[in-house]
């Protein structure tokens, strides 16, 4: 359900070699994205991230491992970065209903559990 749909390349440019990648259009879970190769002047930041809500622990594990292995890095509360420095938040779809539960005791417990995790473990919320 994810694929690259188009790639464009630099023509004559004062800094970038002709033929190097300018943009990549891609789909993640059938949602379109466009990435621009702005070079070293444009750094990735946690201010923009890709959030993926998963239905099962198996989905979380698969995505988490794919992102953090091969040079990625783990962070807290379901956040991680891939090897390119792009921030991701991999969370279970049920997370919001657990941490914003009308039962404050259950919500506090789920919140505390989430805050102690890197990769979210649904059964521990």
- Residue 15: predicted pLDDT: 81
Q: Say what the pLDDT of residue 62 is.
A: 97
pLDDT of res. 3? 95
Structure tokens at 110: 């789920």
Rounded to 5°, the CA angle 39-44-46 comes to: 175
Give this prediction's pTM. 0.77
Q: What is the mean pLDDT of residues 16-39?
A: 90
| Mean pLDDT of the region 96-123 | 95
Over residues 29-74, the pLDDT tens digits come to 888 999 988 877 888 888 889 999 999 999 999 999 999 998 999 9
pLDDT of residue 77: 96
What is the distance, to the nearest Å, from the Cα of residue 43 to the centroid of all Cα atoms in its chain? Answer: 16
| Structural domain spans, the chain | 1-40, 43-125
pLDDT, tens only, 74-109: 999 999 999 989 999 999 999 999 999 889 999 999
Contact of 32 with 55, CB cutoff 8 Å: no
Per-residue pLDDT, 116: 97
- Evaluate whether 76 touches 117 at the Cβ level (below 8 Å): yes
CATH fold of 43-125: 2,3-Dihydroxybiphenyl 1,2-Dioxygenase; domain 1 (3.10.180)
């Amino acid at each position: 359900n994810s694929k690259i749909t188009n790639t464009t390349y630099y023509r004559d440019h004062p800094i970038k070699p002709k033929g190097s990648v300018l943009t990549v259009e891609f789909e993640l879970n059938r949602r379109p994205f466009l990435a621009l190769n702005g070079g070293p002047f444009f750094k990735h930041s946690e201010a923009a991230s890709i959030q993926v809500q998963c239905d099962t622990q198996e989905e979380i594990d698969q995505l988490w491992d794919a992102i953090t292995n091969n040079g990625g890095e783990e962070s807290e509360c379901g956040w991680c970065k891939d090897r390119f420095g792009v921030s991701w938040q991999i969370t279970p779809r049920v997370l919001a209903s657990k941490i914003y539960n009308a039962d404050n005791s259950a919500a506090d417990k789920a919140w505390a559990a989430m805050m102690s995790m890197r990769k979210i473990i649904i059964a521990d919320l």
